Chain A
Amino acid sequence: MRMPEPDARVLASRAALLARLREAVPGGVIAEDSAMRPFETDGLTAYRQMPLVVVLPSDTQQVAAVCRIAREMGVKVVPRGAGTGLSGGALPLADGILLGLSKLNRILDIDYDNRAVTVQPGVTNLAISQAVASRGFYYAPDPSSQIACTIGGNVAENSGGVHCLKYGVTANNILGIEFVTIDGDILRLGGKHLDSEGYDLMGVLTGSEGLLGVVTEVTVRILQKPETARAVLVGFDSSEKAGDTVAAIIAAGIIPGGMEMMDKPAIHAAEDFLNAGYPLDVEALLIVELDGPAAEVDHLIAEVERIALANDAVSCRVSQSEEERLAFWAGRKAAFPAVGRISPDYMCMDGTIPRKALPIVLRRMQDFEKEYGLKIANVFHAGDGNLHPLILFDANQEGQLEAAEKVGAAILKLCVEVGGVLTGEHGVGIEKRDLMDDQFGEADLAQQMRLKCAFDPDHLLNPGKVFPQLHRCAELGKMVVHKGNLPFPDIPRF
């Protein structure tokens, strides 16, 4: 993976930088190799890089001070939450500060009347739901990594979860943020009110992968837990039929709380791992969860069963208890570790496709398996078309990592080819950076980079991520103006 050339001037001034950082963040600067080692990679473990220094500030003011020092000295900054990101967004830079936000881990305010919780960025996703559970509330977006991942990381990646078809992703569930610019300014957007003012900068900061600002506080909206939830486990003898069922459920006006699909290799891996009770003689399995008042859930379960049987389901089981519902989910939620057990290494892809393209995409994936000699297991957020193909490989076998990377790229290009996108929830990071040209044209990327220039004109925040090529802001800002010699345009007019 090609990263920006480390800046020799910055490497040479490390001692001066450390001195200033130690003054700004007493006790929060880590500079010894052994202590920095845990930070050298994130959830995309195939790539590792030691940072120039790790800084762990304990409040917003310290974050601002670090940014000011970085800006003054021309040093790059890579923000980091829990390091569970799967696209390499928190991969350190050799000449950059790794800015860890784990010490900003306090819940600042719980406001039930306004259904809002304000937290520091290092608070984990699950901790928010736990803090309000006693009153029956929860925070809806639920990435599978929710025990570990931080809300700051969730905002930076605009993370989703299995319930986001009905309840939305991070962007739809936050009300306000405080963030620090690379200049060290502390800005607030939104609050506890619903529509934030002016340009929707909160909208662009969400999912900006640490390239626009450092998030130092987040206000999320919380919801009352649905009264009941039940799940249906449906088996099919082909993925097409499972896909048709998903389309028919949505066409019937039903938006389930969750709707997940697994293919045969994923089903078998999960069943071997924890005996979830999945049928093993099916090609595809759907888990459809309905939530809400009991009367509604019963009604919708019956509808879903009817639709599934009309689409030739070969097995159909409705959870009869909370334990059974959780058992249906257990296999799906453990799909990654389950696959990790049957293969020394795996790579998780994250494209989104229009659902109707599922049969073609699955067929082409079988071709890739043959072509590259690697197996693929598929789990799929079926409701919103977000695929997670898991490519199985063994990094210790000569050439397999490279082959897996090629299969991954081929799958993502295929997603774009059928009208989809490179990433549904894991972010671009370094992993999909060099594929951005496949989804976007030059003008599209240039305009995105110009937005970056408004926030960070010197490209100091997390450079080398997201964009395949870094253009200087002065370059991007140039505009050719045909002063006075452009004819009146030939457009219909009054």
Chain B
Amino acid sequence: MTTFTPETDAQVIDAVRWAVAEGQPLEIVGQGSKRGLGRPVQAAHTLDLSRLSGVVSYEPEELVLVVRPGTPMLEVEALLGSQGQCLAFEAPDYAPLWGGQAGEGTVGGLVAAGLSGPRRLKAGAARDHVLGVTAVSGRAELFRAGGKVVKNVTGYDLPKLLTGSHGTLGVMTEIVLKALPAPPLTRTLVLAGIDAAAGVKAMADAMGSPAEVASAAWVPAELPFTGIPPRTPSVLLRLEGVDVSVDARLAGLTRLLEGRAATAVLDNDESAALWEELRDATPFAQRPDLVVWRLSVTPGEGAAVLERVRQAIPGTVGWLDWAGGLVWLGIPPGDAQAGLVRGALSGNGHATLFRAPDPVRAAVPVFQPQPKPLADLSARVKAQFDPAGVLNPGRMGG
């Protein structure tokens, strides 16, 4: 049981080379805040990247931030914020969901897990904002891909491949991110008293309007959220930008959705608190007993998928984000009910077992099993990056 804490790229290479030579797999961690995600890794040794930390360069006018993987997210966000910028895909903070402290986590972990928040609907996902990476493959070779400019098609887009690969393809030692202006103002239009099916329709109409809705969610009666009247299922539409623009769009959107439910507007501060709760899945952080699933589905199917699971598994609670395309489910403790949850998808989209005790995640495929030819191709990709299987073995299944 050794924990390596490299401080240089060369030390990362040494550690991986040793792991390959000795046939000793490594668990790759930043601060370990996302250990609860994915299958528990079977590795006796740990490669801890928290000391491979710091901002390499930040040029706001170029929209480019270069960081080491172990840099704490708090530091990254404070730096971007000081220049009025942000990561537009909205980095979630799920540490409390998995029982950790708010604010834990590194930028490397965020990118490796490929996680995005409510603004993903409009701004794109984490993978759309990773411009370049330097990484050590499971062959103990350092490679670079992508670049340090915002537009680039030179060579394969390995930064996208590494994003969301959960440390199974390479140990990232440097990450280039696209930074964008942070919205100066946010308001939220609330439609209070609307069921999930009508809510999904309202969100589709809002998304199909010129209102440039940045995020759209539906929340149920059972869960508490800031600014939402108690026990009232509601649609939340988030508008961002300069005040004149937000006001104009808010007026248009209100006209469009008039008569569907009672409307109210949340100001900047309440909006910020509300979307943070949705981003971080806070209601489930407050309910540590529940098994949590996160489903990516065709937006228009969101309400139907949620309803099917509720029918199949009594006691299920959940809400919809991404205009219906992201379904958060909390099911009563015990079995993860993977068959029922994945069955409710009806072949459209995929389901990730997002929080469950280790033994449950060791027994159930955490990520959606893929059709054979695709699973075979993914396995071949893995083998080309990590032929000896020393990087986070088992984390993504397989």
List chain A positions with a Cβ less than 8 A from chain B: 111-115, 135-137, 157-158, 160, 164-165, 168-169, 171-172, 181, 185, 187-189, 191-201, 203-204, 206-208, 212, 224-227, 247-248, 250-251, 253-255, 292-296, 298-300, 352-356, 381, 384-386, 419-428, 432, 436, 439-441, 443-448, 450-455, 466, 477, 479, 481-486, 488-494
Contacts and interface: CB of A to CB of B under 8 A. Distances in A.
A350 to B, nearest CB: 9
Contacts of B335: none
16 contacts: A113-B300, A172-B124, A198-B396, A200-B163, A224-B208, A224-B210, A225-B210, A294-B248, A355-B62, A423-B152, A443-B142, A444-B143, A454-B380, A454-B381, A486-B18, A494-B3
Given A299-B244, A352-B152, A384-B150, A479 B300 contact: no
Interface string B364-383: 00011011011001101111
A134 to B, nearest CB: 13
B225 interface: no
Interface in B133-158: 137, 139, 141-145, 147-158
B363 interface: no
B165 interface: yes
Nearest first, the 4 closest Cβ-Cβ pairs linking A and B are A203-B160, A296-B245, A253-B181, A489-B14
B325 A451 contact: no
A449 B322 CA distance: 36
Contact of A354 (B7, B64, B374): B64
Nearest to A200: B160
B14 A193 contact: no
A454 B377 contact: yes
B260 to A, nearest CB: 15
A492 B51 contact: yes
A201 B377 contact: yes
Interface of B: 2-7, 11, 14-15, 17-18, 20-22, 51, 59-64, 84, 114, 116, 120-121, 124-125, 127-128, 137, 139, 141-145, 147-158, 160-161, 163-165, 169, 180-182, 184, 201, 204, 207-210, 212, 241-242, 244-245, 247-249, 252, 296-300, 322, 325-326, 348-350, 367-368, 370-371, 373-374, 377-378, 380-385, 387-388, 396
Contacts of B147: 352, 420-421, 439
A451 B165 CA distance: 14
A187 B381 CA distance: 15
B158 A448 contact: yes
A238 to B, nearest CB: 18
B387 to A, nearest CB: 6
A112 B248 CA distance: 24
A171 B208 contact: no
Given A356-B62, A489-B17, A448 B151 contact: no
A494 B5 contact: yes
B184 A253 contact: yes
A479 B384 contact: no
A187 B374 contact: yes
A193 B156 contact: no
Nearest to B141: A443
A481 B384 contact: no
Nearest to A189: B374
Contact of A193 (B160, B169, B297, B374): B297
Contacts of A135: 208
Contact of A441 (B60, B144, B300): B144
Contacts of B141: 443, 446-447
Contact of A199 (B204, B212, B322, B381): B381
A247 B207 CA distance: 31
B144 A293 contact: no
A114 B298 contact: yes
A200 B367 CA distance: 13
A414 to B, nearest CB: 14
Contacts of B158: 204, 447-448, 451
